[in-house]
């Protein structure tokens, strides 16, 4: 348990950030799974539109330090490779 006022405040801030970051990570995970389903169904237009959304969310998450920039880049590359299998 935090004793000083600044430690208590930092704990509150960390809790809020953890909840916010968790929702962003879950949203990206859901979009990625949906992209996999679109690619499996050979839905090219839907997959391309979803790919753009995934890339935008990953870029924003990397800017906000939810993901490390290299992690975001790796996930974008993986999604692009997946998309290229049907295009």
pLDDT of 2 reads 86
pLDDT of 87 over the 90 cut: no
pLDDT of 69 over the 90 cut: yes
* Rounded Cα gap, residues 64 and 43, in angstroms: 31
How confident is residue 49, by pLDDT bands cut at 50, 70 and 90?
very high
* Rounded Cα gap, residues 78 and 87, in angstroms: 15
pLDDT of 85 over the 90 cut: yes
> pTM (2 decimals)?
0.88
pLDDT of 1 reads 82
Task: Report the CATH number of the 5-84 domain.
Answer: 1.20.58.110
> What are the residue boundaries of the structural domains of the chain, listed by start?
5-84
Residue 29, CA distances (Å) to 12, 20, 37, 54, 74 in order: 26, 15, 13, 9, 14
Q: Which residues contact 8 (CB under 8 A, 6 or more apart)?
A: 2
């Amino acid at each position: 348990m935090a004793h000083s006022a600044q430690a208590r405040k930092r704990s509150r801030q960390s809790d809020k950030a953890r909840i916010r970051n968790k929702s962003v990570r879950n949203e990206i995970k859901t979009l990625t799974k949906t992209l996999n389903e679109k690619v499996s169904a050979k839905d090219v237009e839907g997959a391309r539109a979803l790919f753009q959304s995934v890339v935008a969310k990953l870029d924003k998450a990397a800017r906000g330090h939810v993901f490390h920039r290299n992690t975001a880049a790796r996930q974008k590359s993986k999604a692009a490779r997946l998309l290229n299998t049907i295009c």
